[in-house]
């Protein structure tokens, strides 16, 4: 094929890609979502999951997990926010989905991927992948409760212990009326251990007609292109890669692999430190800033220097001076 045709096709791929900021429990809270989406490149972001048990929650629960609902369902930079629900009670899931949309959520995402043993013991998250009929019932109930124009998406893993039910789960999600499917390219047993198995996503892509969003180990522009080549989809969800490199979505969209200078990241740390101050006890506040710096030092030598300064520091005033 002519090189110019290939290049043109490549540009079209870049134009039509969709990039999503992942829901990361205990990591991507409202403050981190605000700062990362402000760097640009994201089409939408997904909240940490709301654990649904057996009833409709009061609005304060949804607002607590997704404060963006008070901002028209968008981050401060205008990125749409989608509430993620986790649970197996069909009536409760449907009722909470309806309320989240009424409050301003940009559609609903359903979690079939959480690997937490505590969550799985209560029949939520990845354990549901052992029973595709349960997956179908939950998605179907949420879909039926919402207007047809409201997006209902789902996120799953390749399976629980293995991939034997992978295609059956994907088909169940599609048949139940989901608008799109995100797949973390690992099983629950594989956790977060590298590598992500992007080639398995190609099998899913061939098996369903709804859009497929690839997730797992996309930490650079090069990773994005390797994932696209293996999975056969241009749409991706970025998780810890965006935490390590806040400008990653914009880099992928611009096809520019230049590292963000530390000088552009330092102010984000200062903003984050100030934002989490009013709502967290000192110990938790220190833990959150350490958590982010720990991720950043995997890509930035300057963060390693900062890590050595703060890793054992417990004095808020001294940390105020640092940030």
3-state DSSP of the chain: CCHHHHHHHHHHHHHHCCEEECCCCCCCCHHHHHHHHCCCCCCEEECCCEECCCCCCCHHHHHHHCHHHHHCCECCCCCEEEEEEECCCHHHHHHHHHHHHHCCCCCEEEEECCCCHHHHHCCCHHHHHHCHHHHHHHHHHHHHHCCCCCCEEEEEEEECCCCCCHHHHHHHHHHCCCCEEEEEEEECCCCCCCCCCHHHHHHHHHHCCCCEEEECCCCCHHHHHHHHHHHCCCCEEECHHHHHCCCHHHHHHHCCCCCCCHHHHHHHHHHHHHHCCCCCCHHHHHHHHHHHHHHHCCCCHHHHHHHHHHCCCCCHHHHHHHC
Q: Which of 66, 114, 219, 227 is catalytic?
A: 114
219 belongs to the catalytic site: no
- CA–CA distance, 269 with 77 (Å, rounded to integer): 17
Q: Which positions are annotated as active-site residues? A: 114
């Amino acid at each position: 094929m002519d090189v110019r045709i290939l290049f043109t096709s490549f540009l079209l791929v870049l134009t039509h890609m969709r990039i999503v900021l992942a829901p990361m429990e205990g990591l991507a809270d409202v403050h981190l979502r605000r700062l990362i989406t402000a760097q640009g490149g994201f089409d939408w972001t997904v909240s940490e999951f709301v654990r649904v048990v057996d009833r409709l929650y009061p609005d304060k629960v949804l607002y607590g997990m997704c404060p963006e609902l008070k901002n028209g369902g968008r981050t401060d930079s205008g990125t749409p926010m989608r509430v993620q629900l986790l649970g197996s009670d069909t009536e409760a899931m449907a009722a909470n989905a309806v309320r989240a949309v009424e409050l301003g959520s940009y559609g609903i995402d359903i979690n079939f991927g959480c690997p937490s043993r505590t969550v799985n013991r209560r029949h939520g998250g990845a354990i549901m992948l052992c029973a595709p009929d349960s997956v179908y019932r939950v998605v179907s109930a949420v879909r039926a409760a919402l207007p047809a124009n409201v997006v209902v998406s789902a996120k799953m893993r390749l399976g629980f212990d293995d991939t034997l039910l992978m295609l059956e789960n994907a088909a169940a999600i599609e048949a139940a009326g989901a608008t799109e499917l995100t797949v973390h390219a690992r099983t629950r047993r594989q956790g977060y251990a590298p590598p992500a198995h992007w080639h398995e996503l190609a099998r899913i892509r061939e098996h369903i007609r709804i859009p497929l969003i690839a997730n797992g180990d996309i930490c650079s522009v090069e990773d994005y292109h390797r994932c696209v080549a293996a999975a056969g989809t241009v749409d991706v969800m970025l998780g810890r890669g965006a935490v390590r490199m806040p400008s990653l979505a914009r880099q992928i969209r611009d096809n520019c692999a230049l590292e963000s200078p530390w000088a552009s990241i330092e102010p984000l740390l200062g903003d984050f430190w100030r934002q989490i101050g009013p709502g967290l006890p000192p110990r938790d506040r220190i833990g959150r800033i350490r958590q982010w710096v720990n991720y950043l030092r995997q890509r930035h030598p300057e963060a390693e220097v900062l890590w050595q300064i703060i890793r054992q520091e417990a004095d808020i005033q001294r940390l105020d001076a640092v940030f």
